[in-house]
Amino acid sequence: MKSRTIKVDYLARVEGEGSLYVKIQGDKLADVKLKIFEPPRLFEAFLRGRRYNEAPDITARICGICPIAYQMSAVHAMEDAFGVKVEGPLRNLRRLVYCGEWIESHALHVYMLHAPDFLGFPDAIQLAREQPHIVQRGLQLKKAGNEIVSVLGGREIHPINVCVGGFYRVPTRSELAPLAERLKWARDAALETVKWVAQFPFPDFEQDYIFVSLQHPDEYPFNEGRLVSNRGLNISVHDYDDNFVEEHVAHSNALHSVLKSGEPYFLGPMARYNLNFDRLSPVAQEAARAAGLGPQCRNPFKSIIVRSIEILHACDEALRLIERYERPDSPSVPVHPHAARGYACTEAPRGTLYHRYRIDEGGIIRDAKIVPPTSQNQKRIEQDLWQYIPSHLHENHDQLRWQCEQAIRNYDPCISCATHFLKLDIERA
Amino acid sequence: MPHVRKPKLAVWKFASCDGCQLSLLDCEDELLEVAGEIEIANFPEASRAVVKGPYDLSLVEGSITTPHDAERIHQVRRVSKFLVTIGACATAGGIQALRNFMDVRKFMSIVYATPAYIETLSKSTPISEHVPVDFELRGCPINKSQLLEVISAFLNRRKPNTPPHSVCVECKLRGTVCVMVAHGTPCLGPVTHAGCGAICPAYNRGCYGCFGPMESPNTKSLSHGWLRLGAKETDLVLAFRGFNAYADSFRKESESHEK
């Protein structure tokens, strides 16, 4: 029997190092392995013995693309442990800085990493030679997000201003005003982005996914809420460990996360959208309908539309937050550490990010568990490839290889996160 | 007019968070201009197209933590005319160098159920411990303006202008009141390499040393200053044992406070 392999030794346009190995025997798909060879960095081990208030700055270094997500999950987990409530303008500033990270990370993925697949370019630089104004729009949109993070956080990557209890320094109203000017442009650009990506050619591919995300009674989720799914899961983040398990597989330096039932699940923009459509801002809902999407979307290739809708929502939400902002008297609320356990999930651009800490009476971290979105999506990505490849075996080798890469990029995987990554092998036998 | 070949740029990743190479994509206003002047020949985070080496300039992110990477860095050196390390991981081993102070096998069993599946070295080491490096750009993360300066300098055969003085000078330039003198806030600014623009003190917190040691830092004297402000020995161990823990002067200082 003839067999062949498709190999992608170093997956491009994803964050971190991974590869794909696909084995085809005759007309049957025999194996799919998304391998993550990004070297392990062992954060959970060296967090032991560090102070509770170092967790936001240390865990930010897990990922240069979404440091705010790590900082947010860390501070919320610590505040959960010590019974601290951060409300009012400080809570709103946290939502604002998260909007900045979503805009920056999503614009990077939509324009620089994912769109070139749909248009047949190897990268956005080549795309810019033919459509410079489009790529410029993407870069300026990304910049609008980065500027929020810079103003609130001090710099775009590994911001320095987030602390347990709030911030080290809070901005004045006049410091936020220039952001609003750029965000008004960005909101229009985001709307144009939704229209642009909605015209891309999409393969006919829908799956019956288990979507999981946070859900807040009246907001599109960022920092808090209950963990829900479209199959009836509805739990407090305290019960995360009772409902999800991590498996260690030989081909990956990232742990695979599955539901207790053993089923893989889907996190990120697609999950948030399907579970929280009615909580999107009206302008985002309207743009979604105009783009031909209903409240449900089960085609992962269309995640590029959903991601663009989330950019629009984040721009709109950021504008609303800036408009209502009144500078609080104090940049943070007092924190009194004691022996306790703390749990938090927040919505990173790529999906739910779980942190759990055990702190001793001196405020020292004794145990830490961090589950990033990509390790939770990893098994689901492999499942998509198991479903997608068999009906596309007639395609030529290079085409199929590229489509496999595209199917992986649907998830915007962040491999640096997941090991706490990607290389592609397709073997045809 | 004769055809002038554009210089070729490659970006390589070892153990890291991707943040330093992201700094290049974060140059939103300059990226397309840079791409006009140089050929981005090998940059997997940005492109699936790879142009074969050799490369005129290689930017290396990340530290060496696996036997495979300890081999791979030699291949990178062989295909690179100039090799510049970007960031604290590549320059000092990064935050993951905290393993260098502990038993790595114990570390692995904390994170992974089956540590036998994982290949790792007992230490996280900077690139310069493995191959000759032409220039080291500091920071966790690097400053994107400094990155553009370094790219421009190497392509124009001049020395990059990245001042080696301390963060203190940047506070003065920025007009920030000294947080240590005025507020008694412990700060690593006096021994930390400039480049960030002294952000932390401007946000009312002490510098935490993410750009690593400046040229000839007097860490001992600063430690005395911290103790006078009421810091404890363990505070000094943790402070010097951060994102540049394995940089020589920071490592020695943290060890001197460990009892």
Confidence of residue A16 (pLDDT cuts 50, 70, 90): confident
Min Cα separation A11/chain B (Å):
7
Is CATH 1.10.645.10 the right assignment for the domain spanning A3-428? yes
How much is the average pLDDT of B139-153? 97
Tokens of residue B34, six digits: 């840079």
Over chain A, what is the mean pLDDT? Answer: 92
> Beta A234-235 vs A166-167: how paired, if at all?
unpaired
A417: pLDDT strictly greater than 90:
no
Count contacts between A and B (CB, < 8 Å). Answer: 181
Tokens representing residue B235 in the block: 């505070």
pLDDT digits 0-9 by tens, A300-315: 999 999 999 999 999 9
A243, A235 in Cβ contact below 8 A? yes
Cα dihedral: A313, A316, A319, A321 (round 10): -50
Q: Which residue has the tokens 């998304």?
A: A34
Task: Give the pLDDT score at A424.
Answer: 37
- CB–CB of B23 and A157 under 8 A? yes
Mean pLDDT along residues A354-378:
93
pLDDT of residue A40: 78
The C-alpha of B195 sits at a distance from chain A's nearest C-alpha, in angstroms, of 12
Q: Do A13 and B47 touch (CB under 8 A)?
A: yes
Rounded mean pLDDT, B167-185: 97
Chain A environment of B199 (Cβ under 8 Å): 154-155, 160
Q: What is the pLDDT of residue A421?
A: 31
User: Residue B26: its pLDDT value, please?
Assistant: 94
What ipTM, to 2 d.p.? Answer: 0.95
Count, residues in chain B: 259
- Reduced to 3 states (helix: H, G, I; strand: E, B; else coil), residue A181 is helix
User: CB–CB of A231/A243 below 8 Å?
Assistant: no
Token reading at A329: 């008297």
Interface contact flag, B47 A122, Cβ < 8 Å: yes
Question: In the prediction, which pLDDT does A425 show?
Answer: 43
Count Cβ atoms within 10 A of the Cβ of residue B233 and give its class: 0-12 exposed, 13-18 middle, 19 or more buried.
middle
Q: How would you list the strands of the sheet with A226-229, edge to edge? A: A212-215, A226-229, A234-235
Q: What is the pLDDT of residues A260-290, one digit of tens each?
A: 888 999 999 999 999 999 999 999 999 999 9
Asked if B47 and A125 touch (Cβ cutoff 8 Å), the reply is yes
Enclosing H/E stretch for A310: helix A303-324
Q: What is the mean pLDDT of residues A140-153?
A: 98
Q: In this structure, are residues A234 and A212 in contact, taking their beta carbons and an 8 Å threshold?
A: no
Helix (H, G, I), strand (E, B) or coil at B88: helix
> Which one of B45, B96, B202 has the shortest CB-CB distance to A42?
B96
What is the value of pTM for the model shown?
Answer: 0.95
Measured in angstroms, the CA of B237 and the nearest CA of chain A are apart by: 10
Note the pLDDT of residue A36: 76
Taking an 8 Å cut-off on Cβ atoms, the answer to whether B99 and A42 are in contact is yes
* Cβ neighbours for B149, distance < 8 A, ≥ 6 positions apart: B160, B161, B162
Is pLDDT larger for residue B183 or for residue A378? B183
The whole-number pLDDT of residue B212 equals 98
Query: For the residues B196-217, what does the mean pLDDT come to?
Result: 97
CA nearest neighbour of A104 among A67, A55, A79: A67
Q: Where are the domains of chain B?
A: 8-155, 167-256
CB spacing of A416 vs B17 below 8 angstroms: yes
Query: pLDDT tens digit string along B90-145?
Result: 999 999 999 999 877 776 677 666 665 566 788 999 999 999 999 999 999 999 99
Partner-chain contact A122 B48, CB within 8 Å: yes
pLDDT at A149: 98
Q: Is omega for the bond preceding B141 within 30 degrees of 0, making it cis?
A: yes
- CB–CB of A312/A189 below 8 Å? no
B109 residue type, one letter: S
Q: What is the pLDDT of residue A375?
A: 82
Which residue type does A134 have?
I
Q: Find, among A421, A420, A419, A401, the residue nearest to A411 by Cα.
A: A421
Q: B8 at the A interface (CB within 8 A)?
A: no
Q: What is chain A's Cα-based Rg?
A: 21
Residues A323-331 have a mean pLDDT of 97
Task: Report the chain B residue with the minimal C-alpha distance to residue A132.
Answer: B32
Residues of A in contact with B95 (CB under 8 A): 41, 43, 46, 58, 61
Q: Is B46 near chain A, with CB under 8 Å?
A: yes
Question: Which one of A54, A142, A157 has the shortest CB-CB distance to B28?
Answer: A142
- Cα distance between residue B18 and residue B11, in whole Å: 11
Q: How far is A275 from chain B (nearest CA, A)?
A: 30
Question: Under CATH, what is the fold of the domain B8-155?
Answer: Rossmann fold (3.40.50)
Helices then strands (H, E): number in chain A?
Answer: 15, 14
- The whole-number average pLDDT for the span A65-79 is 97
Nearest-neighbour CA in chain B from A143: distance (Å):
6
Round to whole Å and give the CA distance between A363 and A53.
8
User: Does the beta-carbon distance from A155 to B199 stay under 8 Å?
Assistant: yes
Pull the structure tokens for residue B225.
């200053």
Q: Looking at residues A14-20, what average pLDDT do you find? A: 78
In chain A, domain spans: 3-428
Mean pLDDT in chain B? 93
Q: Where are the beta strands (DSSP E) in chain B?
A: 8-13, 39-42, 55-61, 80-86, 135-137
State whether residue A122 sits within 8 Å of chain B by CB: yes
Q: Tell me the pLDDT tens digit for each residue of B26-67.
A: 999 999 999 999 999 999 888 888 899 999 999 999 999 999
Structure tokens at A312: 């629009």
A67 contact residues in B (CB cutoff 8 A): 19
State residue B127's pLDDT score.
98
Residue A162 has pLDDT above 50, yes or no: yes
Task: Give the confidence band of A422 by pLDDT, cuts at 50, 70, 90.
Answer: very low
pLDDT of B107 reads 67
Q: What is the pLDDT of residues A89-111, one digit of tens each?
A: 999 999 999 999 999 999 999 99
Looking at residues B178-203, what average pLDDT do you find?
A: 98
- pLDDT tens-place string over residues A171-228: 999 999 999 999 999 999 999 999 999 999 999 999 999 999 999 999 999 999 999 9
Interchain contact A13–B (C-beta under 8 A): yes
Is B13 close to A142, i.e. CB distance below 8 A?
no
